[in-house]
Chains A and B, each alone.
Chain A
Amino acid sequence: MKRSRRQFLKVASLSVAGLGAQLAAGGVTKAAAAVKPSYKEDALALKAKRWAMVIDTREFASKEDFDACINACNFAHNVPEIPGKTEIKWIWKDAYEHTFTETTNKYQSKEIEDREYFMLCNHCENPPCVRVCPTQATYKLENGIVAMDYHRCIGCRFCMAGCPFGARSFNFTDPRPYIKEINPKFPTRMIGVVEKCNFCVERLDEGKLPACVEAAPGKIHFGDLSDPESEVRKLLEENYTLRRKPALGTEPGVFYII
């Protein structure tokens, strides 16, 4: 039998359509049988429009005062303690002139100048680190927290160049051997990714205050900056506070009572 080109095309297109329909139908029934995902927030989750931190620097004098917070953060987040220039820092302390680089008067209170100050990510309202990240591994949440998804970090370090506060650290080596005691409830990081303070978003989401706040009761305060009734707003009204490098316009969310 000799088929015409026309006949051949008819048969061929019909069979392709039939095959496609069968695959699609199979796909649909398979999808219907599959699991429908649904997610919700923890009922205990702490919520805010704009999380902010107020550090009462008058309360931090001895090494132990600082270490309590630093150790609490390091354990909660598996932050390694690597000596030297490749160190990883989420929260750390430094001198006045390094913290408030724009407010160094020649003659001023010796006591304030000699004090040491906590530094951590400021969870800026206009975070340059987020603007420069090419993979959206770092991003701003609706509650003002500048968070990271380490799965997406490619280690380009643009965010480290973008952050004017030195709040970010890069893993030059595998951090695991440098973690004193591994917290099984939080992941570690791997070589080649950047990390920083996350304002304890994983704790807030389950109803707990940040680890450093919990470790320094009455010394570090945490709350909603957008709520005029919040504790942090009251503290800001009643006390003289500074922020780091305010002239850059990143609008830091960490305030220092001086």
Chain B
Amino acid sequence: MYNSKYVISGLVIFLAVFSYPFWGNLASKDYTGPKLSLPADQKQCIEPVEFMRAEHMTLLNQWRDSALRDGKRVYVASNGATWEASLQKTCMSCHTNKAEFCDTCHLENAVEPYCWTCHVPPKGNE
């Protein structure tokens, strides 16, 4: 091979840089999710936490369609409890701290939902 000295060292450097995300992460600490401020007086959300974490937007979309189009404004949760299908009246009455609940996680995940251009966040968190 011509210039094997340069080619091989070039390849080694390239591979080292290219695979940085892998070995860089191995060396660093484990990722920890953001610290959210949770309602102090509640033990659990309306549905299991894994479901809420992954699917809350789907659920809110269903709430909207059910309330506005079908006039069915009562949500029957999987444990049988009933809730008013309303972001402001139900969700935000427990999650009164939008900045340290919604925003913290959305920021971490680089999503910018525009719920709050219309929906009113709880007082004191504007």
Contact = CB atoms under 8 A, between A and B. Distances in A.
B106 interface: no
B59 interface: yes
A95 interface: no
A141 B73 contact: no
Interface in B67-106: 67-78, 82, 85, 88-89, 92
Q: From DSSP, what is the main secondary structure of chain A's interface residues?
A: loop
Contacts of B55: 34-35
A201 interface: yes
Contacts of B78: 35-36
B56 to A, nearest CB: 11
B12 interface: no
Given A147-B68, A185-B88, A185-B89, A38 B120 contact: no
A139 B57 CA distance: 23
Question: Which of A35, A42, A150, A206 has most chain B Cβ within 10 Å?
Answer: A35
Nearest to B52: A35
A205 B73 contact: yes
B20 interface: no
A165 to B, nearest CB: 22
A182 B78 CA distance: 33
Interface of B: 47-48, 51, 55, 59, 62, 64, 66-78, 82, 85, 88-89, 92, 114, 117-120, 122-123
Given A34-B51, A41-B73, A184-B120, 16 more contacts: A35-B47, A35-B78, A37-B62, A39-B72, A39-B74, A39-B85, A40-B74, A42-B74, A143-B71, A149-B64, A149-B68, A150-B118, A188-B118, A188-B120, A190-B114, A190-B117
